[in-house]
Structure 1
């Protein structure tokens, strides 16, 4: 990892600003959401809807809305890469945000998906049964031909945004600012969990654990590629799987 010409305070201020225009802002809104739910009777029986139609009566406009959301959603990741590349043209390669090892990244990502996905589903069902998580409706798009492709794009956008910003960018900047490895891993994991609080405490804890695992793996490999693959596959299974199975599996609702 190359040294930064900027001081510690500047580096920390930069990371705070990048977070506040992206996932940090989501964390604040998620905190307000869970406070609202807890002061209105709790999380049990509440449904959290993701990937919903904005214009269900006008499919063409809804498609444009979804695609614009995907496009704008990846901008903070591009900003993070731009900030790193200003100092080091090789930064995308140094954090593994490239296509130099497609086979290895894909294989590791698939294995990581299996390792995270099955325990993650069990934790979601358990936390919902305990009343510490809302029921998550992972997708609620109108029944249109483009629903599945858009959900796949949304999964990819989430993965690129979160893994490039929360792992590749923050690990680089916070290390340059003098933070130790485990401090970076733990803080990043708790930020990851915080912007999932809108789902409930189950979503928070589950994503903190996922963040700890992803951070530990990145610290060993210095590649976000496998993390992007795994995150994309997890969200594709959640979004598309929910869409295809919700009318057949009562426990999803």
Structure 2
């Protein structure tokens, strides 16, 4: 049983955010080899094709395929014997939608405001790349796709890094501090392409989110919080970057 679960965890992470962590580290190494980190750029949600309808197709397809590991993780958890249905088990159900929404919004404020401080401090110290969260050329569908991308990120990260990984590590008899540390460090690792500052900021966010899941058993407020954070970052940049002089 222990060996099967260990292999399963490595496979799920290798197909999803563990793979992202490796590529993020390689991206960081390349940035450092090219010069100062403060002069580099980390781009998210960039255009995939110069032809608008192909760009839209690529964007939507990318969002859809990114959710396949989420489906895999939920499917594997649902195979566990003598366990509640997976959505109830992870707190992804709709039993308390307004409470989840309110808590998610509160968590977004708690994480988001200090997160901005971490980003600007990292930029000032030269340990964080400039983060560009939207394409330069906007289309009528750009904002809806950015919102979908935010929801995709939230589901991918919170279901796998919090719900799935923490559940499996506890089944493997890891202690709580080690479980929280593993979840938080993985979250920081796949943000390394943005620099050391964002690694630290996201790892701290990971500690808060992992602790919350341990205390409540609910992932839904974390999905709400993460979606709000990314919608503000993605859509805010797309609409106001020119106004505030970010591009």
Pick the TM interval, shorter chain.
over 0.9
Other-structure match for 1:162: 157
Matched, 1:29 2:23: yes
Counterparts in 2 of 1:141 and 1:102: CA distance versus 1, 3 Å: farther
Q: CA deviation at 1:89?
A: 5.3
User: Of residues 76, 79, 93 in structure 1, which corresponds to 2:72?
Assistant: 79
Structure 1 stretches of 5 or more lacking a match? 1-6
Rounded to whole Å, the distance in 2 between the matches of 1:141 and 1:69 is 19
Matched, 1:195 2:185: no
Deviation string 1:150-194 (CA, Å, 9 cap, x unpaired) is: 000000000000000001101111101111111101111001100
Matched, 1:66 2:67: no
Other-structure match for 1:4: none
Q: How many residues align?
A: 245
Q: For 1:205-244, what aligned pairs fall within 5 Å after superposition?
A: 205-244=200-239
Structure 2 stretches of 5 or more lacking a match? none
Deviation string 1:72-117 (CA, Å, 9 cap, x unpaired) is: 1111111000000012451221111122211111000000011111
Deviation string 1:32-57 (CA, Å, 9 cap, x unpaired) is: 1111111221201111111011113x
Rounded to whole Å, the distance in 2 between the matches of 1:169 and 1:233 is 22
Rounded to whole Å, the distance in 1 between the matches of 2:32 and 2:136 is 28
Rounded to whole Å, the distance in 1 between the matches of 2:13 and 2:150 is 20
Q: CA deviation at 1:142?
A: 2.6
Rounded to whole Å, the distance in 1 between the matches of 2:209 and 2:136 is 30
Q: CA deviation at 1:232?
A: 0.3
Rounded to whole Å, the distance in 2 between the matches of 1:141 and 1:236 is 17
**Superposed CA RMSD:** 1.0
User: Of residues 105, 117, 120 in structure 2, which corresponds to 1:122?
Assistant: 117
Point out the more displaced range, 12-21 or 232-241.
12-21
Deviation string 1:114-133 (CA, Å, 9 cap, x unpaired) is: 11111101110110111000
TM-score (norm 1): 0.94
Other-structure match for 2:8: 14
TM-score (norm 2): 0.97
**Poorly superposed stretches of 4+, deviation over 6 Å:** none
User: Of residues 86, 107, 110 in structure 2, which corresponds to 1:112?
Assistant: 107
SS in 1 for 2:42: strand
Rounded to whole Å, the distance in 2 between the matches of 1:170 and 1:46 is 32
CA contact (8 A) 1:112 1:230 kept: yes
CA contact (8 A) 1:136 1:199 kept: yes
CA contact (8 A) 1:51 1:141 kept: no
Q: CA deviation at 1:141?
A: 5.5
